[in-house]
Amino acid sequence: AQSVTQLGSHVSVSEGALVLLRCNYSSSVPPYLFWYVQYPNQGLQLLLKYTTGATLVKGINGFEAEFKKSETSFHLTKPSAHMSDAAEYFCAGTYSGAGSYQLTFGKGTKLSVIP
């Protein structure tokens, strides 16, 4: 079974510091990968996605992620954290061979930003 693993259920960073949220996937077939953000009591909003082509993907709000096939990773980064980045982040993947386009989610990482 395919799986997506997020390392760290909680991450705290200081305002202005680098944000790094880790995501690894298990598959011999590169998947389509997504990062979603969830603010308190809201739905999920797409931050960025990797399908094919360029392995460095830029998203909204200054976030970016790099697809590394050799490491089966898709870590999310932002150079300088802002208070408004405090939220829960989910990494998810789907596979081109999965006809249902089901998303497999990681368990989420809650990001706290310390002033």
Residues 59 and 41: their CA atoms lie apart, in Å, by 22
**Which positions from 51 to 70 touch another protein by CB under 8 A, shown as an x/- string?**
xx------------------
Look up tokens 């061979």; give the residue. Answer: 97
> Residue 52 carries which DSSP code?
S
Examine residue 46 and tell whether it contacts another protein (CB under 8 A): yes
Residues 86 and 13: their CA atoms lie apart, in Å, by 10
Q: How far, CA to CA in Å, does 110 sit from each of 50, 67, 99, 102, 114?
A: 22, 21, 31, 23, 13
When the beta carbons of 68 and 107 are compared against another protein, the nearer one is 107
Q: Which of 105, 110, 72 is nearest to 3 (CA)?
A: 105
When the beta carbons of 82 and 107 are compared against another protein, the nearer one is 107
- CB of residue 54 to another protein, shortest distance in Å: 13
Binding to another protein in span 74-113, by CB under 8 A:
90, 92, 96, 99-103, 105-108
- CB of residue 34 to another protein, shortest distance in Å: 6
**Rule CB under 8 A: which residues touch another protein?**
9, 32, 34, 36, 42-46, 49, 51-52, 90, 92, 96, 99-103, 105-108
